[in-house]
Amino acid sequence: MLRHAFVSFLLTATGVAAQNSTTSYDYVVVGSGPGGAPLAANLARAGHSVLLLEAGDDQANNPNISQIANFNPAASDETTRWDFWTKHSDDPERELKYEHMVWRQKDGSFYTGLDPPAGAEQLGIWYPRTGTLGGCAMHNGGVCSLPSDDDWNDIAKLTGDKSWKAENMRKHFVKLEKNEYLEPGAPGHGFDGWVSTILAGTDWATEDVDVTTIMKKIVNATGGDPSQLPELAKKDVNAPDPNRDQDTGVNGMAIHATSQGLRSGTNSYLKATLADAAKYPLTIQLESLATKILFSKGTAEPKAIGVEYLKGKSLYSGDPRYKASAKGPVGQVFAKKEVIIAGGAFNSPQILKLSGIGPAAELKKFNIPVVKDLPGVGENLADNYEGYVLGLADKPLTGLSMTSVSVFLKTPTAPKHRNIHAWCGPLSFEGFWPGFPHEYGPTEWECPFVHMNPRSQAGYVHLKSADPRDTPDINLKFFETGEDKDLTEMLDAVKTFRKAFQSVTAPIGPFDELHPCPGKNQDCSDAAIKETLKLQAHSHHATSTCAIGAADDEMAVLDSEFRVRGVKNLRVVDASAFPKVPGAFPVCPTFMISEKASEVILAAAKA
C-alpha cells in the first residue's frame, strides 16, 4: 500500500488527531459542503472507504457557526470565511456606483462605500464563502425552501433522464429530512433523515405587538386575510401541494436547524457518521487544499485516479489569515473507484481547470496541459438577484423577538409560477460587505427579497493564474440579458412592499424609507427604482459553472449522473451542477442532489 512521505492528521470518530498512512480509498471527495458532505457520509455508510478532503478546519464548537441565529457573524468570522472579490458587470463606471464596493486602505483595513480614501485599492464586491468542515451550510441563513417542480422537471426534459422529475426528487427530500415542526407522517416530508428542519418562531403572531400590526399589513398587501396571520405564519412552505408553485402570500419559514437552534446538515451528518468508525469507513482530512486531479497515463480517455493537495492551514488566498510565504507540503491520495469534486460554484470549476479540464484557450494561457477541452467549465455562472425595501418606523417597535416569515409573490409578468421569495421582519440586510450589516436600531423593518429564475446567467469563473492558492476572477454579469423583464418583476415586488409600508399608520408609521426611495412619504418613479435595483442588486446563491446539460450541448460539463463529459471516474456534485439556480435558496436542493448522486454512484458500484 502506498504511504505518505510525511505525516498527515485526520479527524477520527473521537475527534482526536491520528496519523494516517492510507493513501488509497474507494472514493475521494473534495469539499465538505452541501454537496460533498452528505455524499461522503452516504458512501461510507454503504460500506465504501471514503476520504473527504477539506481545506479548512472544524469550527463546529464555534457558536458563530453552530448557532443558526448567528448567521451574520458567521459570514464575517475569520476562522471560517473565504473572501471572494467579484464584479457585477464589465462596466467599471457601473461598478463604482455600487454602494457597498470594498477597498483596501493603506493600513490594510477595509473601506466600504462610494468615496474611498486616497491610495485605497479597489477589491470588488465581497462574496463570502466558507473554508470549514460543512462548507457554506455553516454560514448561511439556513432557509430550507424547495424550488418549484418546474426547476426539477426542466432538468428531466433537458437530459431525457426521468429520474430528475419533481416527484422523484421529492423522494430524496423525504429521505434526508428530519422534520420537527409537523406531525409525524405528514405527506411529502421525512422524519428520520439527517437534516433537522424547524419552523421559525410564530408565537408573536397572536400577540398585540407592533411587528404583528406591520405583518398584517403585509398579509393584506399580498392578497391575504390579516385575521388569518397566525395560521399563515405556520403554513408549511414545503407542502407537497399541487398548487404550491402558484401559492402567494405569507408562509412559514423552514430552517435547516434543530429545535435547540443548532445548525443541522453537513457537519452534523459527518460527525454522526464518524461516531461509528468501525462500521462506516469515513476519513476526513482537514486543512488539505486540493490543487489538482490526478489522471492515469496512456489511456485513450482521461481517467481520474486521485487528487493532489497542499497540507496546511489557511493556504488559500481567500482566507483572511493567508500569508503568501506559507508553503504546505504536497500530498497525493488515490481513488480506486471515483473522484468526486464538490467545491462549490467557484472552486469546482477552478480545480477542474487547474487539472486540465476546461476551455482549451484559457488553459493554454496559463500553460496548463489540456486533459479535456470542455468550454462550459466556469461559464454560465447564474445567481438570483436580491433587492429590498427598508425603512425606519416612527417609534421603537415592540415584539422584536420575532423571526421572519416567508412571503411569496407572483408578479404580473412572471412566466410560469411565483417568482419572488421575500422575508420580512425587524432586520436590515442590504447585501454583503466586511462587517455587515448596518444596524439601525429598534425601529428598523425590512422586506428583503430574492428574484427567482433570472433570465441572465452569463457570468463566469476564470483563472487568474495556475497557482491553486489564488482565488479566481469572478464576474456575475448581472442583467446581461432579460434586463427589463427582470427589473420589471423586481419593481413589482418593491411596489407591493412599499404599499404595505405606507399603509402603516401612527404611532408606528409613517416609515422613514431608506431604500429604494429615501425619506418619509416619499415617492419615486418606476425608472428611478429600476435604476436603483440594477445598480444595488446583490446575491449569494451562485450556481451552474459546471452545469448538467443535454448530450448535444457543447457548453454542458456534466451528464445527468454528474459525470464529467469525456472523463472517466470523475463527477461534480454541488451547486455548480444545476443548469440554473433552483428556487430562491439552493442549500436544500443541493442536499437533494447529493442524495441523488449517492444513489447513482452506489448503483454504478454494484453494476
Phi and psi torsions of 78, nearest 5°:
-65, -20
pLDDT per position as a tens digit, 424-477: 999 999 999 999 999 999 999 999 999 999 999 999 999 999 999 999 999 999
**Amino acid found at 96:** L
Q: How far apart are CA 315 and CA 360, in angstroms?
A: 27
Residue 486 within a domain: yes
Quote the domain boundaries for residue 429: 201-252+385-451+481-536
Q: How much is the pLDDT for 484? A: 97
CATH of residue 279's domain is 3.50.50.60
Sign of the dihedral defined by the CA atoms of residues 261, 267, 268, 271, in that order: negative
Residue 192 within a domain: no
Q: How far apart are CA 566 and CA 558, in angstroms?
A: 9
Q: Are residue 20 and residue 42 in the same domain, yes or no?
A: yes
Q: How much is the pLDDT for 11? A: 52
Residue 2 has pLDDT above 70, yes or no: no
Q: Are residue 389 and residue 522 in the same domain, yes or no?
A: yes
Residue 95 within a domain: no
Q: What is the mean pLDDT of the chain?
A: 94
Q: Are residue 342 and residue 309 in the same domain, yes or no?
A: yes
Q: Are residue 392 and residue 500 in the same domain, yes or no?
A: yes
Residue 504 within a domain: yes
**Amino acid found at 38:** P
Q: How much is the pLDDT for 523? A: 81
Q: Are residue 486 and residue 406 in the same domain, yes or no?
A: yes
Q: Are residue 294 and residue 362 in the same domain, yes or no?
A: yes
Q: Are residue 423 and residue 511 in the same domain, yes or no?
A: yes
pLDDT per position as a tens digit, 27-81: 999 999 999 999 999 999 999 999 999 999 999 999 999 999 998 999 999 999 9
Coil, strand, or helix at residue 429?
coil
Count of domains forming the chain = 2
Residue 12 has pLDDT above 90, yes or no: no
Residue 521 has pLDDT above 80, yes or no: no
Residue 67 within a domain: no
Q: How much is the pLDDT for 10? A: 54
Residue 91 within a domain: no
Residue 189 within a domain: no
Burial tier of 449 (Cβ tally within 10 Å: 0-12, 13-18, 19+):
buried
If you search the block for the grid coordinates 482565488, which residue do you land on? Answer: 471
If you search the block for the grid coordinates 443548469, which residue do you land on? Answer: 579
Coil, strand, or helix at residue 162?
helix
CATH of residue 506's domain is 3.30.410.40
Q: Are residue 530 and residue 394 in the same domain, yes or no?
A: yes
- Answer whether 145's CB lies under 8 Å from 238's CB: yes
Q: Are residue 436 and residue 532 in the same domain, yes or no?
A: yes
Q: Which helix (H) or strand (E) holds 589?
A: helix 587-606
What's the Cα-to-Cα distance from 314 to each of 181, 331, 359, rounded to whole Å?
39, 16, 29
Q: Are residue 294 and residue 421 in the same domain, yes or no?
A: no
Q: Are residue 348 and residue 416 in the same domain, yes or no?
A: no
Would you say 140 is a known binding-site residue? yes
Would you say 143 is a known binding-site residue? yes
Cα angle 418-248-187, degrees, rounded to a multiple of 5: 95
DSSP state letter for 117: P
pTM of this structure: 0.95
Residue 524 within a domain: yes
β-pair partners for 405: 424
pLDDT per position as a tens digit, 180-238: 999 999 999 999 999 999 999 888 999 999 999 999 999 999 999 999 999 999 999 99
- Answer whether 52's CB lies under 8 Å from 42's CB: no
Q: Are residue 52 and residue 27 in the same domain, yes or no?
A: yes
Cα angle 211-212-217, degrees, rounded to a multiple of 5: 100
